Amino acid sequence: MTFSKAILEGDRLALARLLTKVENDSQEGRDALMELFPHTGRAHLIGVTGAPGTGKSSLVNQLALHYRKTENKRIAIIAVDPSSPFTGGAVLGDRVRMRDLSGDSGVFIRSMASRGSLGGLAQATANITQVFDAAGFDIVIVETVGAGQSEVDIARLAHTTLVVEAPGLGDDIQAIKAGILEIADILVVNKADRPGVEQTEKALKTMLELAHPAERVFKHHGVTMSVSAPKRNEAAKMWIPPIQRTISTEGAGIPELADAIARHVAHLTSSGEWADRERTRLEVELEALIRQGLMNRFREEVAAGAYEKALESVIQRKMSPLEAAASLMNGRLK
Amino acid sequence: MTFSKAILEGDRLALARLLTKVENDSQEGRDALMELFPHTGRAHLIGVTGAPGTGKSSLVNQLALHYRKTENKRIAIIAVDPSSPFTGGAVLGDRVRMRDLSGDSGVFIRSMASRGSLGGLAQATANITQVFDAAGFDIVIVETVGAGQSEVDIARLAHTTLVVEAPGLGDDIQAIKAGILEIADILVVNKADRPGVEQTEKALKTMLELAHPAERVFKHHGVTMSVSAPKRNEAAKMWIPPIQRTISTEGAGIPELADAIARHVAHLTSSGEWADRERTRLEVELEALIRQGLMNRFREEVAAGAYEKALESVIQRKMSPLEAAASLMNGRLK
């Protein structure tokens, strides 16, 4: 039986094995992805991002538990860790997360180590998301470490993006610098039992007000996107990111957070933005694949020694990187 | 007079104007970069990265002040901010930093907002670094917000990478998750007057020991690199990242940090690793330029409607992204 068939039939072991193949970008993985693709487009993708120390992992844990208990939804969690190969960070993080969720067949957790190139990580995350989507998971939560542009880029491709903050993580300037506010559909102030929660919330509110007028809020998902700016002129279609307080260690505020997420889904559907975000996400993916394909083709076509020769000229400052790139692309270096 | 000539003659206004042109990737900027490239390769590039709240900016500020006072070196600072266009984070951050350094003609500070694509930011940072290098700045400090893969990637291309931590930023797991330890040449525990400094230092030491045996420490800059693994077999060439305590608000520990940086430069030179890192950096840059060039050429060559048609097929799940990319690349969609 093919991978894709086994996965459509709910084979958990096949799913785990395919995820590895997809993450490694193997041919078998690529074939399965193509077969599975027509079955995608149903899952609700939730991105969760925030700086280290905000308690994202336990928040994701609690949210998943909530969905399991109240709505019996099937949940996949993808933890995108730029963790070191030697610290085993991903494994440790998983262990903590898994305690409450392990043994539940309606939950599947996958950690992704950051491997090499950035494009690779974003692409692998997109592919893994597609596999979960096709496998019938209702909600796919992508957790990223945040504060970094790449993680933000990964999270922003979700239907609903949660940005998690916590009191006492540094001064206001640092909070502003993190600069991930504009991608938030929902702001979560986690660890809300800590001193300084009012201050954090106030700072977030001020920044949200700065983000007005409304069209700026609307544009926040379109910043890096090149085509098809959607028409969102009607005030009725406005979405102002709510601020939700949670204490994820105790589960406080989680039902309210889930309600806010549900309201956002309703907003996305009624405003037509769900379709806009689907389009954007698939376009970003298509472009990444083309980029990768072009580079692979280039590597095959360029003569073996030409690349090394060009690099050597650059190192010796005989040729600028721009000149070397142009020469290689035009086949002038053999 | 051309830009490059004015800059080589120390024209500060021309420098500021060129930086903008280079950041915007204009033709004029590209031309100047080519002319300036033969004059690069002399500056010491220092990357400074760490999570929000570690006090990186004031550390960079103090370090620059130190170099100005004791060695009269010319310093350029590039602050890579994934900051929002509307929060004005970069401007605020600059204001704080500038207080001590403004008016000093031996210092030049440049903030880079993250614009669109990641490749773009990394590339723009590399180009800006080259301009400063050619303009005769002895030290170029690139400060990145850290914790994110892209920022880590930018910082890792420096000759010397400082990873800044601070006590009390979260539990051990979060610290491990940040996963930026393996790129550190020097670990800085800033805010060392805070409670928990011993604990933070101990955690860092443990992780460094995990990173042993020595060859792993050596490999830390080669993780994403594809070619020319350097031979570093001799024990004499070993570099174990030292841990330096600082209190940047008071300037405490800054001379010792500068000493550690000087020792690292001596190590890089004597071990031949300086040349290795130069090669790696230029190779990464060359590849990024080729990638960008291939994509530009593709955009010119593909028929106007073909791309949109392929995207539409993907959105309607008639074609997978992989199939669409292959079709476009092979000119099968007209």
The answer to which of A304-308, B3-7, B51-55 has the lowest mean pLDDT is B51-55
Instruction: Please judge whether A178 and B52 are an interchain contact, meaning their C-beta atoms are less than 8 angstroms apart.
Output: yes
CB distance from A89 to chain B under 8 Å? Answer: yes
What confidence tier does B191 reach under pLDDT thresholds 50, 70, 90?
A: very high
pLDDT score of B82 more than 80:
no
Phi, psi (5° rounding) for residue A49? -135, 160
B53 or B94, higher pLDDT: B53
Chain B residues touching A133 at Cβ < 8 A = none
Please tell me which of the candidates B90, B174, B278 has its beta carbon nearest to residue A315: B278
Interface test with B, best of A177, A221, A327 (most B CBs within 10 A): A177
Helix, strand, or coil here: B264? helix
In three-state form (DSSP H/G/I as H, E/B as E, the rest C), the secondary structure along chain A is CCHHHHHHCCCHHHHHHHHHHHHCCCHHHHHHHHHHHHHCCCCEEEEEEECCCCCHHHHHHHHHHHHHHHHCCCEEEEEEECCCCCCCHHHHHHHHHHHHHCCCCCEEEEEEECCCCHHHHHHHHHHHHHHHHHCCCCEEEEEECCCCHHHHHHHHCCCEEEEEECCCCCCHHHHHHHCCHHHCCEEEECCCCCCCHHHHHHHHHHHHHHHCCHHHHHHCCCCCCCCCCCCCCCHHHCCCCCEEECECCCCECHHHHHHHHHHHHHHHHHHCHHHHHHHHHHHHHHHHHHHHHHHHHHHHHCCHHHHHHHHHHHHCCCCCHHHHHHHHHCCCCC
Q: Class of B40-272 per CATH?
A: alpha beta
Indicate the burial class of B213 (C-beta count within 10 angstroms; 0-12, 13-18, 19 or more).
Answer: exposed
Chain A residues touching B183 at Cβ < 8 A = none
Q: What value does the mean pLDDT take over residues B205-228? A: 48
pLDDT score of A20 more than 70:
yes
Interval B283-292: pLDDT, tens: 988 988 898 8
pLDDT score of B92 more than 50:
no
- Which CATH architecture does the domain made up of A40-292 adopt? 3-Layer(aba) Sandwich (3.40)
What confidence tier does B151 reach under pLDDT thresholds 50, 70, 90?
A: low
A114 or A310, higher pLDDT: A310
pLDDT score of A308 more than 80:
yes
The answer to which of A148-152, A191-195, A248-252 has the lowest mean pLDDT is A148-152
**Maximum average pLDDT range among A85-94, A170-179, B145-154:** B145-154
The alpha carbon of residue B66 is apart from the nearest alpha carbon of chain A, in Å, by 23
Chain B residues touching A84 at Cβ < 8 A = 176, 179, 181-182, 211
The alpha carbon of residue B318 is apart from the nearest alpha carbon of chain A, in Å, by 7
Q: What percent of chain A is modeled with pLDDT above 70?
A: 74
Q: What value does the mean pLDDT take over residues A122-131? A: 88
So what's the pLDDT on residue B70? 94
The answer to which of A31-40, B114-123, B273-282 has the lowest mean pLDDT is B114-123
So what's the pLDDT on residue A1? 72
What is the DSSP code string of B59-112? HHHHHHHHHHHHH---EEEEEEE---TTTTHHHHHHHHHHHHHTT-TTEEEEEE
What confidence tier does A56 reach under pLDDT thresholds 50, 70, 90?
A: confident
Interval A163-219: pLDDT, tens: 888 887 654 434 444 456 677 899 999 999 998 899 888 888 877 776 544 443 333
The answer to which of B120-134, B153-167, B222-236 has the lowest mean pLDDT is B222-236
Query: What ipTM, to 2 d.p.?
Result: 0.79
Sole residue written with tokens 């280290």: A52
The alpha carbon of residue A11 is apart from the nearest alpha carbon of chain B, in Å, by 22
pLDDT score of B252 more than 90:
yes
Question: Boundaries of CATH 3.40.50.300 in chain A?
Answer: 40-292
Q: What value does the mean pLDDT take over residues B12-31? A: 91
The answer to which of A85-89, B147-151, B241-245, B311-315 has the lowest mean pLDDT is A85-89
Indicate the burial class of B263 (C-beta count within 10 angstroms; 0-12, 13-18, 19 or more).
Answer: middle
CB distance from A299 to chain B under 8 Å? Answer: no
The closest alpha carbon to A145, from A275, A256, A16, A48, belongs to A48
Q: What value does the mean pLDDT take over residues B28-42? A: 94
Q: Give CA–CA dist A271/B235, Å, rounded.
A: 64
CB interface of B with A, residues 240-259, below 8 Å: none
Interface test with A, best of B290, B302, B317 (most A CBs within 10 A): B290
pLDDT score of B221 more than 70:
no
The alpha carbon of residue B74 is apart from the nearest alpha carbon of chain A, in Å, by 23
So what's the pLDDT on residue A14? 94
Q: What value does the mean pLDDT take over residues B201-222? A: 58
The alpha carbon of residue A318 is apart from the nearest alpha carbon of chain B, in Å, by 7
What confidence tier does A50 reach under pLDDT thresholds 50, 70, 90?
A: confident
CB distance from A30 to chain B under 8 Å? Answer: yes
What is the DSSP code string of B1-67? --HHHHHHTT-HHHHHHHHHHHHTT-HHHHHHHHHHGGG-S-SEEEEEEE-TTS-HHHHHHHHHHHH
pLDDT score of B206 more than 80:
no
Nearest 5 degrees, angle CA B118-CA B124-CA B130? 145
pLDDT score of B223 more than 70:
no
Instruction: Please judge whether B291 and A290 are an interchain contact, meaning their C-beta atoms are less than 8 angstroms apart.
Output: no
Query: What average pLDDT is seen over chain B?
Result: 80
CB distance from A305 to chain B under 8 Å? Answer: no
So what's the pLDDT on residue A257? 98
CA atoms A265, A270, A271, A274: torsion sign: positive
pLDDT score of B269 more than 80:
yes
The answer to which of A15-24, B227-236, B274-283 has the lowest mean pLDDT is B227-236
Q: Give CA–CA dist A239/B57, Å, rounded.
A: 34
So what's the pLDDT on residue A304? 76
So what's the pLDDT on residue A210? 67
CB interface of B with A, residues 186-245, below 8 Å: 207, 210-211, 216, 223-224, 227
CB distance from B153 to chain A under 8 Å? Answer: yes
pLDDT score of B320 more than 90:
yes
Chain B residues touching A177 at Cβ < 8 A = 52, 81, 83, 89-90, 93, 145
Phi, psi (5° rounding) for residue A78? -115, 115
What confidence tier does B169 reach under pLDDT thresholds 50, 70, 90?
A: low
